[in-house]
């Protein structure tokens, strides 16, 4: 059985498939709990399908924790340092050739 919206459409809404799976699973659990109290809340659609629709429509989203933001900043800084090292090595090579 195919879930609509498809993975291509859903992937545009998140930064990774892991994030997508996590968001859909958490929201589907919430929908399942809501249905226990209100049977007609979302009709006959399965909770995962409803969650996927909500992700594509932008009704739900995610926020990265502060630790992840710091780790990303550290990775960006590390990449910039490596790039500056390779640029300075290239400049030294050009100077030694002259």
Residue 34 CB partners (closer than 8 Å, separation 6+)? 41, 42
Average pLDDT for residues 55-73, to the nearest whole number?
85
pLDDT at 95 over 60: no
Residue 24 near residue 53 (C-beta atoms within 8 A): no
The H helix count followed by the E strand count for the chain is 4, 0
Predicted TM-score (pTM) of this structure = 0.57
At residue 69 the predicted structure's pLDDT band, cuts being 50, 70 and 90, is confident
Specify the pLDDT at position 38.
66
Average pLDDT for residues 19-26, to the nearest whole number?
91
Query: Following DSSP, what letter does each residue of 55-70 receive, concatenated?
Result: HHHTSS-----HHHHH
């Amino acid at each position: 059985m195919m879930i609509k919206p498809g993975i291509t459409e859903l992937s545009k809404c998140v930064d990774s498939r892991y994030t997508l799976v996590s968001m859909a699973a958490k929201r589907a659990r919430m929908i399942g709990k809501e249905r226990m109290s209100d049977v007609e809340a979302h009709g006959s659609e399965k909770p995962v399908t409803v969650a996927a629709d909500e992700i594509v429509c932008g009704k739900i989203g995610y926020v990265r924790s502060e630790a992840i933001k710091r780790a990303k900043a550290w990775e960006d800084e590390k990449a910039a340092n490596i790039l500056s090292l390779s640029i300075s090595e290239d400049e030294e090579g050009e100077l030694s050739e002259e």
